[in-house]
């Protein structure tokens, strides 16, 4: 009975002849001496190699599972001088003493840090790494100040940002007045502030609200005393008790209106009387503002209140005196110096 379930009697003549030829071809073939012993050794060895391969794959998976979280932890490290390049240099910090020679005797260049390049230049012949300099390049240094690029901190909440303060200076030779707003992290944990908040103005006295505007500071504008826009950041990690700053500049476009002289009105009622009687306390600027107090030289008293409100609700304001028309130039988020 053949393997297909058919006996010799069911085969044709040609098939029977082919069958006899095949039997004759292999009837004298016998296994060589030691074949059985070889199989007894080879089968267990093959099984052992398979087990070793499985163990190696498990070890590689375990290494990847532990190395990746550690690398992420190093790349998320924050500090006062933290920089986006810290993620590239984290491979040096993670490598430790293992980034010495390669199996072929050359020096490892993993991480691409500048410290590794120096080592390769000085010790390329011996392959010995410079432990004193190789892994220190690119590490963040400094105190616990805010970091412009360090992530891994949750967004600041209204409860974390507070203590908003404001400052304002005196007019410079061109009449510009510079000031700033500061908001602090009043909580005990780090958080990330993003969004520059809002700056608004309020015209008071003879100030004309239609002639007052708020614009973002750019390079080459009239607010030359403000920091260069390149120093601004989109987000900032604030350590506890650390602040961020938004600066502004008031640049006048016109002086406050004059009325031809006169003494200051002693109280609002006398000013109102002057307004109805056509006295010197009336508004002659044509801007529709109500009658104002006058200074001794006849200039109407006007001021502009500049206010800042963070996205989380913290706010502060300050007043620029002797201001009636002009532009407020504001910066974005700046690290407190």
Quick one: average pLDDT of 292-296?
A: 50
Say if residue 207's pLDDT is above 70. Answer: yes
* Domain at 247, CATH number: 2.60.40
Rounded-to-integer distance, Cα 288 and Cα 285, Å: 8
58: Cβ contacts below 8 Å, ≥ 6 apart: none
The SS3 of residue 169 is coil
25: which 2 tokens?
């071809």
Handedness of CA 228, 234, 239, 242 (dihedral sign): positive
The Cα-based distances of 95 to 56, 129, 131, 136, 270 in angstroms read 21, 12, 12, 12, 81
Question: Does residue 98 belong to any structural domain of this protein?
Answer: no
Quick one: average pLDDT of 229-255?
A: 94
Query: Rounded to an integer, what is the distance from CA 142 to the centroid of its chain?
Result: 18
260: which 2 tokens?
């031809």
pLDDT for res 46: 86
- For residues 219 and 203, is the Cβ–Cβ distance under 8 A? no
Choice among 86-90, 179-183, 328-332 with the minimum mean pLDDT: 86-90
pLDDT for res 131: 45
Quick one: average pLDDT of 314-329?
A: 95
| Residue that wins the pLDDT comparison between 110 and 324 | 324
Q: What is the mean pLDDT of the chain?
A: 73
| Residue that wins the pLDDT comparison between 211 and 38 | 211
Other beta carbons less than 10 A from residue 90's beta carbon = 22
DSSP 17-30: HHHHHHHHHHTT--
- Closest C-alpha to 336, from 271, 269, 239, 254: 239
DSSP 195-213: S--EEEEEEEET--GGGEE
Reported as a single tens digit per residue, the pLDDT across 295-304 is 555 788 899 9
Confidence tier at 199 by pLDDT (50, 70, 90): very high
Say if residue 99's pLDDT is above 50. Answer: no
Quick one: average pLDDT of 161-183?
A: 94
The total number of structural domains in the chain stands at 1
Say if residue 224's pLDDT is above 60. Answer: yes
Provide the domain limits for residue 204. Answer: 161-257+299-335
Long-range contacts from 180-183, C-beta under 8 angstroms, 24+ separation: 180/245, 180/246, 180/247, 180/248, 181/245, 181/246, 181/247, 181/248, 181/308, 181/316, 181/318, 182/243, 182/244, 182/245, 182/316, 182/336, 183/243, 183/244, 183/246, 183/310, 183/314, 183/316
The pTM of the full predicted model, rounded to 2 decimals, is 0.48
Question: Does residue 206 belong to any structural domain of this protein?
Answer: yes
Question: Does residue 68 belong to any structural domain of this protein?
Answer: no
Question: Does residue 15 belong to any structural domain of this protein?
Answer: no
Question: Does residue 219 belong to any structural domain of this protein?
Answer: yes
Rounded-to-integer distance, Cα 308 and Cα 219, Å: 22
pLDDT for res 268: 42
Question: Does residue 246 belong to any structural domain of this protein?
Answer: yes
Handedness of CA 124, 130, 135, 139 (dihedral sign): negative
Say if residue 151's pLDDT is above 70. Answer: no
Residue spans of alpha helices (H) in the chain: 13-26, 35-75, 86-95, 114-123, 268-277
Question: Does residue 122 belong to any structural domain of this protein?
Answer: no
Say if residue 117's pLDDT is above 60. Answer: no
pLDDT for res 296: 53
Reported as a single tens digit per residue, the pLDDT across 8-31 is 667 788 888 898 888 888 877 777
Say if residue 229's pLDDT is above 50. Answer: yes
Question: Does residue 236 belong to any structural domain of this protein?
Answer: yes
Quick one: average pLDDT of 52-71?
A: 85
Confidence tier at 7 by pLDDT (50, 70, 90): low
């Amino acid at each position: 009975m053949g393997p297909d379930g058919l006996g010799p009697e069911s085969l044709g003549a040609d098939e029977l002849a082919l069958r006899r030829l095949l039997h004759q071809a292999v009837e004298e073939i016998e296994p060589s001496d030691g074949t059985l012993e070889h199989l007894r050794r080879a089968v267990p060895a093959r099984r052992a190699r398979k087990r070793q391969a499985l163990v190696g794959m498990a070890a590689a998976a375990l290494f990847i599972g532990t190395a990746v979280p550690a690398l992420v932890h190093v790349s998320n490290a924050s500090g006062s001088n933290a920089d986006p390049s810290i993620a590239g240099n984290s491979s040096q910090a993670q490598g430790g003493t293992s980034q010495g020679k390669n199996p072929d005797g050359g020096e490892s260049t993993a991480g691409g840090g500048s410290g590794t390049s120096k080592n390769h230049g000085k010790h390329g012949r011996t392959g010995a790494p410079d432990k004193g300099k190789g892994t220190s390049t690119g590490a963040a240094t400094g105190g616990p100040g805010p970091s412009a690029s360090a992530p891994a901190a949750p967004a600041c909440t209204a409860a974390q940002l507070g203590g908003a303060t404001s400052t304002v200076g005196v007019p410079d030779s061109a009449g510009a007045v510079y000031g700033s707003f500061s908001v602090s992290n009043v909580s005990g944990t780090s958080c990330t502030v993003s969004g520059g908040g809002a700056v608004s103005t309020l015209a008071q006295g003879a100030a004309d609200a239609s002639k007052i505007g708020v614009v973002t500071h750019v390079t080459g504008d009239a607010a030359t005393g403000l920091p260069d826009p390149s120093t601004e950041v989109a987000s900032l990690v604030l350590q506890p008790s650390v602040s961020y700053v938004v600066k502004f500049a008031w640049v006048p476009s016109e002086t406050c209106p004059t009325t031809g002289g006169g003494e200051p009105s002693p109280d609002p009622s006398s000013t109102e009387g002057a307004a109805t009687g056509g006295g010197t306390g009336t508004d002659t600027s044509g801007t529709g503002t109500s009658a104002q107090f006058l200074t001794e030289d006849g200039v109407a008293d006007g001021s502009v209140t500049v206010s800042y409100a963070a996205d989380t609700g913290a706010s502060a304001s300050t007043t620029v005196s002797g201001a009636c028309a002009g532009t407020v130039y504001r910066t974005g988020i700046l690290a407190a110096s």
